[in-house]
């Protein structure tokens, strides 16, 4: 059973016979104001998605637990993702904000909105800066508001060109609030998982692979034999 939690809990409560390792990672969510950073983190944590946009005033951290089974060994690992989200205005106003978000970061999620062309065109600059400051970190790109296809400013041909140029995972997420149960108030957790599982699974796969390379258990990309 998948479990998404926010708060001060160290980990989900498991039955006594279940003993699994926890892999801990810090993820910084980057992108222009209004692209949906806070909404994405809320969806990943199974929380209410804000209906009205309010820029994050400082640094907001959210913890999500995500269990995954390793294909090679059937071993179950509990991934503990700590998402860091900071408003664009705060990053510009306070010099210490960005270094705090980037310090010891294991992965960067770069967001753009399908309805905001400028946010997509801003990606190369963000990626280039991180490549110099945190060259070993996992990098993933996420396009938000994918369901608003009638208003998209980013055609498929541009996404194809971006993938070819940067060779990074590029995922898409919807912006609509999660479905609710019959009472009209409670979020439908099962439906919510279907919307975000590909993001959490992708993060787990990329970060686990990075750890295996760092431990010398897998070859680094530069060491891969020619095909």
Please, which pLDDT band fits residue 178 given cuts at 50, 70 and 90? low
Please, which pLDDT band fits residue 179 given cuts at 50, 70 and 90? low
Lowest-pLDDT range, 49-53, 76-80, 129-133? 49-53
Residue 225: the pLDDT is 43
Residue 54: the pLDDT is 72
Token pair for 132: 């110099």
Please, which pLDDT band fits residue 199 given cuts at 50, 70 and 90? very high
Residue-wise pLDDT tens digits, 146-173: 877 677 889 999 999 999 999 999 999 9
The DSSP code sequence of 122-156 is THHHHHHHHHHH-TTSEEEEEEE-TT-GGG-SS-H
Please, which pLDDT band fits residue 14 given cuts at 50, 70 and 90? low
Please provide the average confidence, as pLDDT, over all residues in the chain.
Answer: 82
Which is the CATH superfamily of the domain at 21-180? P-loop containing nucleotide triphosphate hydrolases (3.40.50.300)
* Rounded Cα gap, residues 216 and 226, in angstroms: 19
* Rounded Cα gap, residues 143 and 110, in angstroms: 9
pLDDT exceeds cutoff 50 at 109: yes
Residue-wise pLDDT tens digits, 36-52: 898 899 889 888 776 66
The DSSP code sequence of 57-106 is -SEEEEEEEEEEE-TTT--EEEEEEEEEEE-HHHHHH-TTHHHHHHTT--
Please, which pLDDT band fits residue 12 given cuts at 50, 70 and 90? low
Residue 175: the pLDDT is 73
Lowest-pLDDT range, 28-37, 77-86, 174-183? 174-183
pLDDT exceeds cutoff 70 at 82: yes
Residue 226: the pLDDT is 40
pLDDT exceeds cutoff 80 at 107: yes
Q: CA separation (Å) from 19 to 72, 77, 79, 150, 222?
A: 19, 10, 14, 48, 36
Residue 176: the pLDDT is 64
Please, which pLDDT band fits residue 55 given cuts at 50, 70 and 90? confident
Please, which pLDDT band fits residue 111 given cuts at 50, 70 and 90? very high
Structural domain spans, the chain = 21-180
């Amino acid at each position: 059973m998948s479990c998404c939690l926010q708060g001060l809990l160290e980990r989900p409560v498991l039955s006594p016979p279940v003993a699994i390792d926890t892999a801990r990672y810090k993820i910084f969510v980057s992108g222009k104001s209004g692209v949906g950073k806070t909404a994405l983190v809320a969806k990943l944590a199974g929380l209410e998605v804000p209906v009205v946009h309010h820029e994050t005033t400082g640094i907001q951290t959210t913890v999500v637990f995500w269990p995954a089974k390793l294909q090679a060994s059937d071993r179950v690992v509990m991934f503990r993702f700590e998402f860091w989200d900071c408003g664009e205005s705060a990053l510009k106003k306070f010099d210490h904000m960005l270094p705090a978000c980037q310090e010891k970061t294991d992965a960067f999620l770069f967001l753009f909105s399908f309805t905001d062309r400028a946010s997509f065109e801003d990606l190369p600059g963000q990626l280039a800066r991180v490549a110099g400051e945190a060259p070993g970190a996992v990098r993933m790109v996420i396009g938000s508001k994918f369901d608003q296809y009638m208003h998209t400013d980013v055609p498929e041909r541009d996404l194809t060109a971006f993938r070819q140029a940067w060779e990074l995972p590029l995922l898409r997420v919807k912006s609509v609030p999660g479905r609710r149960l019959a009472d009209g108030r409670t979020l439908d957790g099962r439906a919510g998982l279907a919307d975000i599982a590909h993001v959490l699974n992708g993060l787990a796969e990329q970060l686990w692979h990075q750890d295996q390379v760092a431990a010398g258990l897998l070859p680094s990309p530069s060491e891969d034999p020619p095909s």
